[in-house]
Structure 1
Amino acid sequence: MPAQQYEGFTSPPEFVLDIGPDGYAYVKPNTFKAGFAADTRDADAAYMRDSQVPIAMAAFGTTLRHAAWRTKPSWAVIATDDRAFQIGMPPKMAKRIGATRIEVKASHGVFMTQPKALADVIDTVAGQVSAKRD
């Protein structure tokens, strides 16, 4: 069950979700930059904040019956300055699934601030997977 991965952890005070009566949530606008994109430029953080797609909170309680990580290799990019997760949670999640961990000094918005680091991970993983098939 996905919710189990969050057991024992709380969200940092910088990361606050505004959950609507319909069960969908957004990261609160007044804490978005601090909690999600602390290392982005103000303009980039504002764009990300204003273009959020709501998340269905029910997804966090959905039971997974066939998680791919149980049968396939996994990798985890861990943003070391992430304020969306309590410190220690991403490494614990990665360890639980047996993922190869790659740490990047970045916020949760690592895809905006460290795109080359992510591209390098994808290239490395793709090379490893391709080599195993040959």
Structure 2
Amino acid sequence: MFTPMAAGAAPVKNVVLVHGAFADGAGWRDVYDKLTARGYHVQIVQNPLTSLQDDVAATNRILDLQNGPTILVGHSWGGTVITEAGLHPKVAGLVYVSALAPDAGETTAQQYEGFAPTPEFVIEIGDDGFGFVKWDMFKQGFAHDVSDAQAAFMANSQVPINMSAFSTKLKNAAWRSKPSWAVIATEDKAFDQAMLVHMAERMGAKVTKVSGSHALFITRAEEVADTIENAATSLAGK
């Protein structure tokens, strides 16, 4: 599916982090701090969440700034974004953090078909087509392993997504030509576990499972950072 970098190749020291729906890039702070402390150059995409095209453009804008091979990381909806944007020539590998991974010609919505519903993760959609996670269910559905105060802040600062983005067909699937890794939260209430495993297996991703909620990019930052570093070092032939 992909050609590994030759042994002795220059190390991959750039990381671009892509957030998902109902969140913004600030949630990556602990992952950012851990990776920068290890010597990585890390930048964070701020998705407008207005369309797949807009989010891919925002991601490409940051990828264009990188000075060499880059690990592209996506959480949740961010997985769809990196799947489309990951063909960028500076992307050396992809890391999916409890993330969606459609194939070319598929929509994000199709990934849910045939899998169990997620009754604790409830999206309320406004007349304008933008959706929020239901406020009084945010903690149990999105981030049950953070404090009540942090969950309240996350709920009240969430960024809505244009739900039509889930019906947009992808033109590309970068995981078909780039190596991929997946970190799966075993207590994720936003996705059926079987759905996450199915997507990871279809990609041929190297899978790490961690105990945690859908907010594992916050609560399991150490394991997420370790996976990103493992991806970077393996691609450098180390």
**TM-score, normalised relative to structure 2:** 0.53
Q: Which runs of 4+ in 1 moved over 3 A?
A: none
State yes or no: 1:67 paired with 2:170. Answer: no
C-alpha RMSD of matched pairs (Å): 1.3
Return the offset for 1:100. 1.2
Q: Could you list the runs of 5+ residues in structure 1 that have no partner in the other structure? A: none
The match for 1:7 is 113
Identity of aligned residues (%): 53
Higher helix share: 1
**TM-score, normalised relative to structure 1:** 0.92
Deviations 1:4-42 (A, max 9, x none): 211112431110001111111110001000000011111
**Count of aligned positions:** 132
Alignment of structure 1 residues 23-102 onto 2, 5 Å: 23-102=129-208
The letter for the 2-side match of 1:86 is D
Which whole-Å CA distance do the structure 1 matches of 2:225 and 2:188 have between them?
A: 19
The letter for the 1-side match of 2:170 is L
Deviations 1:55-79 (A, max 9, x none): 1211111111211111111111100
The letter for the 2-side match of 1:25 is G
Match of 2:230 among 105, 124, 133: 124
Which whole-Å CA distance do the structure 2 matches of 1:10 and 1:24 have between them?
A: 24
The match for 1:115 is 221
